[in-house]
Amino acid sequence: MAAFRGIEVKPGFAPMEAKSVDALPDEPGWRFEPKWDGFRCLVFRDGSDVELQSKSGKPLGRYFPEMVAAVQGMKAERFVLDGELIIPIGGVLSFDALQMRLHPAESRIRKLARETPAQLMLFDCLAAADGKSLVERPLAERREALEQLHVAEEEGALLLSPFTDERRLADSWLEMAGGALDGVIAKRRDGPYVQGEREMLKVKQLRSADCVVGGFRYAAKKREVGSLLLGLYNEEGKLDHVGFTSNMPAEERAELTKRLEALVEPPGFTGNAPGGPSRWSTDRSGDWEPLRPELVVEVRYDHVTGHRFRHGTRFLRWRPDKAPERCRFDQFEHEARPAALATALPGVE
């Protein structure tokens, strides 16, 4: 590779990943960090050569020119850093704003870069100063190198993610941070940076919401309910489609199908409905049965993007005690300013 000769860790290097667990480890030797909701990003700099790389290995610099400029303006001329690209808008983190950057038109990207500039939340250092690799060094040493590099910079777009070595404090982050975090990551304090392997542990920040069942879809191969279509009432009092859940107990589906079929009645959703133009649309988006808005279900979710659940939700229970009209968007927790949260988490070292 002609460029990046001055650093031993070069573009194409796969970032270390995490595997999901139900709880953070309790034995000694672990370090805990917030898991931010953004785009994972490895940052390579060797003099004038700068590359931002996604978790999948694709270049990101074209979509975040303001971050390339910020890296080029740093005093340190050689380093490889690991972090998360985030965009705060109006005081909350916006995953939608990140996705909007993945646009084919350069003029559109540069306009968004001016209007909604990204920030980089840093949490690891793979090479620094002399360009020598630090991946075999323990996390504690890599963190020290990252802090030394960061303290010398004046670039406000570069943030330093906090950490703690105490599990009870890490657990409290999940409790107090609301929707501000994607979860908590656990790393071995004496562990190396293992390329492309799931050597870290992660506990996701999961929340629940009560939703109206505005419709359902039949299963692909059986005339039995396959998924429930979920809705929430907007400020205008209209029921918007926000996602689906499909993990209802198998032994209950036949009886549930009869119950739902007895409630079939248009329009189902009076606001945004399934099958409308969106990036979530599929060939089966228009194939659904509308229901009278009488059933309420509690579901577990991880993220909300563009007033929709980003992923499928997990069915928890029916809520016959909850009035459908009380299922509104105000249940969603807003996310905190990343810079403020990075210094406000209790127990930050």
Task: List active site positions.
Answer: 35
- SS3 state of residue 102: coil
Phi-psi region of 40 (alpha: psi -120 to 50; beta: other; left: phi over 0): beta
The DSSP result for 179-206, as a single string, is: GG-SEEEEEETT----TTSEEEEEEE--
DSSP state of 71: H
* CA-based nearest residue to 289, from 263, 322, 326, 270: 263
Nearest-angstrom CA–CA distance, 286 and 217: 10
Nearest-angstrom CA–CA distance, 290 and 277: 18
User: Beta-carbon neighbour count of residue 91 at 10 Å?
Assistant: 10
Q: b/e for 274-289, b at 16 or more Cβ within 10 A?
A: beeeeebeeeebeebb
The encoded tokens of residue 340 equal 């403020």
Say if residues 115 and 135 touch (Cβ distance below 8 Å): no
Alpha helices in the chain (DSSP H): 65-72, 95-100, 106-115, 139-151, 167-176, 253-261, 338-344
Q: Is the bond leading into 266 cis (omega within 30 degrees of zero)?
A: no
Q: b/e for 64-82, b at 16 or more Cβ within 10 A?
A: bbbbbebbeebeeebbbbb
Nearest-angstrom CA–CA distance, 203 and 37: 13
